[in-house]
Amino acid sequence: MKNLQFNSSLTILNMEYNPLGPEGAKHIADYLQYNHTLTELNIYRTDIGEQGAMFIAVYLQNNTSLLSLNIGRNLIGCNGAKAIFESLVHNTTLQKLILKENQIPEQAI
């Protein structure tokens, strides 16, 4: 993961079905803070949970390159969804967000 920080040509990162967990989401978010070329991140079904969604939300706040994020089927729940939604107030570049199958209650939307 450390190599992601200095990679200036990576535009798509597909990690779907890898059991990253919350700690893996934190590592991705930490390293991608320095990557300004990634336009698509797919972390579908990576078991990041609510805490992992919060780490990704921090990354999203200041990101200016990501256009598409698939965070589906990660059981992020109400608090994880809320963190993602709040981060989008500051993010003006994300165009596509996939949140399906996350047990997000209607009141979180």
pLDDT in tens, 19-29: 999 999 999 99
108 pLDDT more than 80: no
Q: Alpha carbon 69 to chain centroid distance?
A: 6
Per CATH, the homologous superfamily of domain 2-108 is Ribonuclease Inhibitor (3.80.10.10)
Q: What is the pLDDT of residues 28-48, one digit of tens each?
A: 999 888 889 999 999 999 999
Q: How many angstroms separate the CA atoms of 4 and 36, rounded? A: 10
Domain ranges of the chain: 2-108
Considering the entire predicted model, what is its pTM?
Answer: 0.93
User: φ and ψ at 37, to 5 degrees?
Assistant: -115, -15
